[in-house]
A and B are shown apart, each in its own frame.
Chain A
Amino acid sequence: DAGVTQSPTHLIKTRGQQVTLRCSPISGHKSVSWYQQVLGQGPQFIFQYYEKEERGRGNFPDRFSARQFPNYSSELNVNALLLGDSALYLCASSFYARDQPQHFGDGTRLSIL
């Protein structure tokens, strides 16, 4: 069975641009969470979506947004990119909203120039 898949694997953007990252959860999983991992730090929670509804939001500015589609895949959007947005963005999925453990994808490496 395929694990959590994320695309693209790498992305280079410039300050002020907008970016969309994509995530496909494990088949049957209805919950998707997004985490940001800045170099040298642990991942930080950004969003959780379950059944297409937002179930949790971390301490991130409104430039960050996300959505979940009927097939449970998800997109993370970041507007007005800043240098500090350079990070590995990880997607994790689980069957239910409070189901543990979560299963992680390999992430999207976003570099801002």
Chain B
Amino acid sequence: AQSVTQLDSQVPVFEEAPVELRCNYSSSVSVYLFWYVQYPNQGLQLLLKYLSGSTLVKGINGFEAEFNKSQTSFHLRKPSVHISDTAEYFCAVSEYGNKLVFGAGTILRVKS
């Protein structure tokens, strides 16, 4: 069965510093991978997706992620964060485009 592990429950970082949010998944088949962001009292907004092709995926708001099949990882990165990036971030996996399986989330706290 597929599963997702987000290695950090909270990540504090100063404004304009780089950040990496880590995600590992387990699956016995090919998968699609996603990062979603959730602001307080809102639903999930898609940041970026990996379906196939280039392993480096660029998303909205300056975020990018790299798919590493050998390490079964899909870490999210941003070179310089802003206060407005403070939110909860969810990594998700889908086998063959079926249901999404989410990690427990990582709260990114950007400090001034």
Which of A14-22, A36-44, A60-68, A70-78 lies at the interface?
A: A36-44
A106 within 8 A of B: yes
Name the residue of chain B whose CB is nearest to the CB of A96: B97
> Which of A45, A56, A100, A107 touches B43 (beta carbons < 8 Å)?
A107
- Are B43's CB and A90's CB within 8 A? yes
- Are A43's CB and B102's CB within 8 A? yes
User: Across the interface, which residues of B come within 8 angstroms of A35, CB to CB?
Assistant: 100
> Which of B4, B42, B46 touches A103 (beta carbons < 8 Å)?
B46
A87-107 interface mask toward B, CB cutoff 8 Å, 1 = contact, 0 = none? 000101000011111111111
Name the residue of chain A whose CB is nearest to the CB of B33: A100
Given A41-B105, A101-B34: A106 and B99 within 8 A (CB)? no
Chain B contact residues: helix, strand, loop or mixed: strand
- Are A101's CB and B46's CB within 8 A? yes
Given A41-B105, A56-B99, A58-B99: A100 and B44 within 8 A (CB)? no
A86 within 8 A of B: no
> Which of A41, A99, A102, A105 touches B104 (beta carbons < 8 Å)?
A41
B1-18 interface mask toward A, CB cutoff 8 Å, 1 = contact, 0 = none? 000100000000000000
Residue contacts A-B, CB under 8 angstroms, 28 given: A33-B99, A33-B100, A35-B100, A40-B105, A41-B104, A41-B105, A42-B90, A42-B102, A42-B105, A43-B44, A43-B90, A56-B98, A56-B99, A58-B99, A90-B44, A97-B97, A98-B96, A98-B97, A99-B97, A100-B32, A100-B34, A100-B49, A100-B94, A103-B46, A104-B43, A104-B44, A106-B41, A106-B42
